[in-house]
Structure 1
Amino acid sequence: MHELEEAARDVVDSWESGDLAGAVTQLGRLLNNQDLNRAECADAIARAREIHANDQCVIDPLPLVAPAEDGTYVAAWLWIPNP
């Protein structure tokens, strides 16, 4: 599970009991990091769209990104037709 999804689930799980403020703070930190990563990886996002985006592969306007040592992972939606 992606860390953003995990943080969002922590917020939901902490709604009535638990450390809601801490869970929301953690989610906010991860969202801010994702914004910074997108800004730093703008060239990689553009390249991903040029190389891969088509009717079968869609990249959101603000995709999740994960910078790595030798490149960047850019989240995409792949179309899989029903059998």
Structure 2
Amino acid sequence: MLFSYGPLQNLYTAARNLIKDADAGNAIDLVDLKVAIGELEMMVFERLEHAPLVAQARKEGGEQVQVDPNPLVAVAEDGVWVEAWVYVPKEG
């Protein structure tokens, strides 16, 4: 597995399978690719829907936590998890 986030891995796998089928001269099935693209669109929709909470994460994270411009978000029951970078200083 190349990607830890399911929708990205699904898109990669679907694209690789399309290339493999095309190279082998087989009929191309776009169902998996359509599903993978739908998952990515949902990921973008969730990020846009929860943009105020992503902004809050940026504000409250301080210097130790950095949030990318387009982070992954995972919807939870009472909020969202926001993908972020956490700075860990070297010891000694």
Q: Do the two structures share a fold, i.e. TM-score over 0.5?
A: yes
TM-score, normalization by structure 1: 0.77
Task: Give the drift of 1:12.
Answer: 4.3
TM-score, normalization by structure 2: 0.70
User: What is the rounded CA distance, in whole Å, between the counterparts of 2:89 and 2:33 in structure 1?
Assistant: 37
Higher relative contact order (CA 8 A, sep 6+): 1
Larger Rg: 2
Match of 1:45 in 2: 54
Q: Report if aligned partners of 2:66, 2:84 keep a CA contact under 8 Å in 1.
A: yes
Task: Give the drift of 1:82.
Answer: 5.8
User: What is the rounded CA distance, in whole Å, between the counterparts of 2:86 and 2:44 in structure 1?
Assistant: 23
Give me the identity figure in percent.
27
SS of the residue 1:72 aligns to: strand
When the two chains are superposed, the root-mean-square deviation of aligned CA atoms in Å is: 2.4
Structure 1 moving runs of 4+ over 6 Å: none
SS of the residue 2:43 aligns to: helix
Unaligned runs of 5+ in 2: none
Q: How many residues align?
A: 82
